[in-house]
Structure formats: C-alpha cells, structure tokens
Amino acid sequence: GPASAEKFGLGRPAAPDEIAAWDHDVNPEGVGLPVGSGSVEDGEALFGDYCAICHGDFAEGVDNWPKLAGGQGTLDHKDPLKTVGSYWPHVTTTWDYVNRSMPFGNAQTLTVDEVYAVVAYILYSNDLVEDDFVLSNENLLDIELPNKDGFIIDDRAESEYSKWSGEPCMTDCKDKVEITMRAMVLDVTPEETKARKVQEL
C-alpha cells in the first residue's frame, strides 16, 4: 500500500501527457516498450545516415567510438571486446538507450519505428538475426542476447570482505620489495603536466 507520512502539499499532480513525454524507460520484461516495428533493411539505411559516422557502416566502430558489434567469446580474454552482441544482456536496453540518447548530439529524434529498425540492424550486425528480419514490440523479447546469463549480482560481501578484514600486518610483512612496473616507462601522462615539471626542475 501507499506510504502514509506527513505530507506538505507541495508539487502538483503530473498530467498524463507529461508522464508520457518523459517516462520512456523499458525494462527487461518489456514494460514500457511502445507499439511499432522496423526492418534490418530500413535500419541499415538509417544507421548509414545517423550512426555510421561514429559507429562504422557495420557497427564495428570508428576510431575510439564505441563498437556495437563483434567480440563474441572475448570476455575472458586479456582485452575483451564488449558490444551489444558480446556483452549486453538485454535487447530492451539497446532499444531504450538508442531511443532516449542516440544519435549522440541529436538525441530523441528517431521515431519509434526508426528505433526498432536501428536496433534490428545492430542485431543483424552481430549475426543474431537474418537480413530480412523485422523487429517489433511483438517479437523483441523473443531475442536472447548471447551474454544474457553473463552477470552475477555484486558478491563482494561473500568473496572479498571477510578475506580483507581484521588486524593487518605491521612489521616484517614481506621479505623483499621490487619495482615491477613504472608509469614513466609507459609515458602516457598528458604533456602539460610533464612540461610543467621540466619547467620547475
């Protein structure tokens, strides 16, 4: 039931069209997913127009911009490639994020059907659907992303906290200490700071 606490009578009721304008989130059960559809084919054209300049024609990423496709099977590698196909657990998140926050710099400009189409193309780029696929609110939840079971809830309380608690060593904690890595060897700290240092020395 509702909380019964002292109320201050501040604020005013939100109008239905106001809630509709701002409440766009979609959860993994599909709650919030609007009616609509879009094809891989339409998505490819839209992606070319609005997304490829940063994310590449095949969602493979340009320069340092995020890669949206590829990397499956790399999560236990030294440098895992985390994409919608290799890492994301839910298609709903892709829909939700593209809808609300993409394209970067011109967010909230795609129509509902366009978002379905762009997401369909991202799925296609990850080899998860065929090129004639049409994504809709009816079938979106049927698509399982490869890493849907790849997440566990924070387990630090069990796996770490007891291990790293209690009175720590204060003396004779190790026999020897050697330097194993140096930041100066890598030399990637911004120049401005180095310039300042030289100037002051």
Partner 1 sequence: MSKGSNNNPSRRQFLSGAAVAGAGIAVAGAARAGDPLITEVQQWARGLGEGVDATPYGLPIRFETDVVRRNVPWLTADPISSINFTPIHALDGTITPQGCAFERHHSGAIELSKDDYRLMINGLVDTPLVFTYADLERFPRQTHVYFCECAANTGMEWAGAQLNGAQFTHGMIHNMEYTGIPLRTLLEEAGFDTSAKWVYVEGADASSNGRSIPMEKALDDVLVAFKANGEALRKEHGYPVRLVVPGWEGNMWVKWLRRIEVADAPVESREETSKYTDTLANGVSRKWTWVMDAKSIITSPSPQAPIRHGHGPLVITGLAWSGRGAISRVDISKDGGKTWETARLAKPGEKMALTRFYLDTTWNGEEMLLQARAMDETGYVQPTKAQLREVRGENSIYHNNCIQTWWVQSNGEAENVEVS
Judged by CB under 8 A, the chain residues 112 through 131 that form the site for partner 1 are none
Residues 28-87 that bind partner 1 (CB under 8 A): 28-29, 31, 54, 63-66, 75-76, 78-80, 82, 84, 87
Task: Report the DSSP beta bridge partners of residue 37.
Answer: 136
6 binds partner 1 (CB under 8 A): yes
Q: Is the peptide bond before 103 cis (omega within 30 degrees of 0)?
A: yes
153 binds partner 1 (CB under 8 A): yes
Residue with tokens 């499956």: 72
166 binds partner 1 (CB under 8 A): yes
Q: Which of 97, 112, 134, 137 binds partner 1 (CB under 8 A)?
A: 97
Q: Which is nearer to partner 1, 40 or 67 (CB)?
A: 67
Q: Which two tokens stand for residue 13?
A: 């009721």
Q: Specify the stretch interacting with partner 1 by CB under 8 A; choose among 38-46, 111-119, 129-137, 184-192.
A: 184-192
195 binds partner 1 (CB under 8 A): no
Q: Which is nearer to partner 1, 142 or 170 (CB)?
A: 170
Q: Which of 101, 131, 139, 195 binds partner 1 (CB under 8 A)?
A: 101
Q: Which is nearer to partner 1, 132 or 198 (CB)?
A: 198
176 binds partner 1 (CB under 8 A): yes
169 binds partner 1 (CB under 8 A): yes
Q: How far is residue 24's CA from residue 178's CA, in Å, rounded to a whole number?
A: 54
Task: Report the DSSP beta bridge partners of residue 39.
Answer: 134
188 binds partner 1 (CB under 8 A): yes
User: What SS3 class is residue 17?
Assistant: helix
Kindly report the length of the chain: 201
Q: Are 121 and 52 in contact (CB under 8 A)?
A: no
Q: Specify the stretch interacting with partner 1 by CB under 8 A; choose among 34-42, 103-111, 118-126, 132-140.
A: 103-111
Q: Which is nearer to partner 1, 132 or 183 (CB)?
A: 183
Q: Give whole-number Cα distances, 67 to 57, 61, 63, 100, 113, in Å.
A: 11, 4, 9, 19, 23
Q: What is the DSSP letter of 175?
A: S
Number of residues that bind partner 1 (CB under 8 A): 87
Q: Give whole-number Cα distances, 33 to 96, 109, 138, 176, in Å.
A: 8, 17, 10, 60
Among 141, 144, 139, 113, CA closest to 126: 144
